[in-house]
Structure 1
Amino acid sequence: MTAPLVPLPAVVQTADAAGFHLVPTTTVSGPGDARAALAEVVRRRTGITLTTASDADIVLDIEPGGAPESYRLRVDAASVSIVGADAAGLFYGMQTLAQLITHDTGDWSIPAARIDDAPRFGYRGVMLDVARHFQPVATVFAFIDRAASLKFNMLHLHLTDDQGWRLQMDSRPLLTERASSTSVGGDAGGFYTKADYRAIVEYAAERHMTVVPEVDLPGHTHAVGVAYPDIAEPPVMTDEIRDAIAQFGGEDPRAAVPYEGLAVGFSSLRIRDERTYEFVADVLGELAALTPGPYLHIGGDEALGTAAGDYADFMERATQIVDALGKTPLTWHEAGAVDDLHDATVGQYWGFVSPTDGMDERARRFVRNGSRVILSPADAVYLDMKPTADADLGLTWANGPTSVERAYRWEPTAVIDGIGEDDILGIEAALWTETIRDLADLDRMAFPRIAAAAEASWSPRDGADRTWTCFRERVGGLAPLWHSLGIGFDESAEIPWQKGRP
Structure 2
Amino acid sequence: MTSLPLAPLPSSVTPAKGVTFALTHTVSVTGDPDAAGVLHRLILTRTGLHLTASPGSAEPGRAVIDVTVDGDGPPESYRLTVADNRVTVRGADAAGLFYGVQTLSQLITGSPEGWVIPGVDIDDAPRFAYRGVMLDVARHFHDVATVTAYLERAASLKFNVLHLHLSDDQGWRLALTRRPELTARAAASAVGGGAGGFFTSDDYRAIIAHAAANHMTVVPEFDMPGHTHAVGLAYPEVAALPALDGWDAAGGPTPVAGETYTGMGVGFSSLRIGAPETDAFVDDILTELAELTPGPYLHFGGDEAHGTPAADFAAFVARTSRVIADLGKTPIAWHEAGVAADLAPGTIGQYWGLVSPTDGADERARAFVAGGGRVILSPADAVYLDMKPAADSPLGLTWANGPTSLERAYSWEPCEIVPGISEDDILGVEAPLWTETVRDLDDIDALAFPRVAAAAEAAWSVPAGTAAGRTWESFRKRVGGLGPLWTTLGIRFPASPEVSWTL
The TM-score bracket by the shorter chain reads over 0.9
1:392 pairs with one of 391, 394, 400: 394
Matches within 5 A, 1:328-367: 328-367=330-369
Q: What is the distance in 2 between the residues matched to 1:487 and 1:290? A: 31
Task: Give, in angstroms, the shift of residue 74 of structure 1.
Answer: 0.5
The equivalent of 2:456 in structure 1 is: 454
1:291 matched residue in structure 2:
293
1:414 corresponds in structure 2 to 416
* Offset, 1:240: 4.0
Q: Which moved more, 1:14-23 or 1:88-97?
A: 14-23
Aligned counterparts, 1:138-287, within 5 A:
138-242=145-249, 244=250, 247=251, 249=252, 251-287=253-289
Q: Secondary structure at the match of 2:19?
A: coil
Q: What amino acid is the match of 1:161?
A: D
Give the TM-score normalised by structure 2: 0.97
Question: Which residues in structure 2 correspond to 1:419-438 (within 5 Å)?
Answer: 419-438=421-440
**Residue identity in the other structure for 2:374:** R
- 2-structure distance, mates of 1:368, 1:279: 30
Letter in 2 for 1:427: V
Matching residue's letter, 1:306: T
For the residues of structure 2 that align with 1:23 and 1:241, how far apart are their CA atoms?
58
Instruction: Give the CA deviation at 1:106.
Output: 4.2
Task: Give 1:415 shift.
Answer: 0.6
1:16 aligns to 2:17 (yes or no): yes
Amino acid at match of 1:452: A
SS at match of 1:16: strand
| Residue number in structure 2 paired with 1:313 | 315
SS at match of 1:116: strand
Residue type of the alignment partner of 1:469: E
- Aligned pair count reads 494
2-side partners of 1:335 and 1:437: how far apart?
30
Query: Residues of 2 paired with 1:167 and 1:263: CA distance?
Result: 22
SS in 2 for 1:37: helix
1:475 to 453, 461, 479: 479
Letter aligned with residue 84 of structure 1: G
* One-letter code aligned to 1:26: V
Distance in 1 between the 2:36 and 2:469 partners? 31
* CA distance, structure 1, for counterparts of residue 238 and residue 19 of structure 2: 69
- What is the CA distance between 1:373 and its match in structure 2? 0.1
Q: CA RMSD in A?
A: 0.9
Question: C-alpha deviations, 1:194-213, integer Å up to 9, x for none?
Answer: 00000000000000000000
2:247, 2:267 within 8 Å by CA — same for their partners in 1? no
Of 492, 495, 498, the match for 2:496:
492
Aligned equivalents of 1:182, 1:93: Cα separation in 2: 42
Question: In the alignment, which residue of structure 2 is the partner of 1:33?
Answer: 34
Amino acid of the residue matched to residue 484 of structure 2?
A: P
1:36-55 deviation per Cα after TM superposition (whole angstroms, max 9, x unaligned): 11100000000011221222
Say which SS state the counterpart of residue 18 (structure 1) adopts: strand
Aligned to 2:107: 100
User: How far off is 1:34 after superposition?
Assistant: 1.0
Percent identity at matched positions?
61
Tell me by how many angstroms 1:25 deviates. 1.4
Counterparts of 1:349 and 1:405, CA distance in 2:
21
1:112 alignment partner, SS class: strand
Shift in Å at residue 345 of structure 1?
0.4
Aligned twin of 1:4: 5
Q: What letter is aligned with 1:11?
A: S
Letter in 2 for 1:85: A
Aligned residue number for residue 61 of structure 2:
none
Letter in 1 for 2:431: A
User: How many angstroms apart in 2 are the aligned matches of 1:475 and 1:241?
Assistant: 37
Question: What is residue 55 of structure 1 aligned with on the other side?
Answer: 57
C-alpha distance after superposition, 1:231-276 (max 9, x if no partner): 100100024434x2xx3x3x21011111100000100001021111
Could you tell me which amino acid in structure 1 is paired with residue 181 of structure 2? L
Deviation at 1:397, TM superposition (A): 0.3
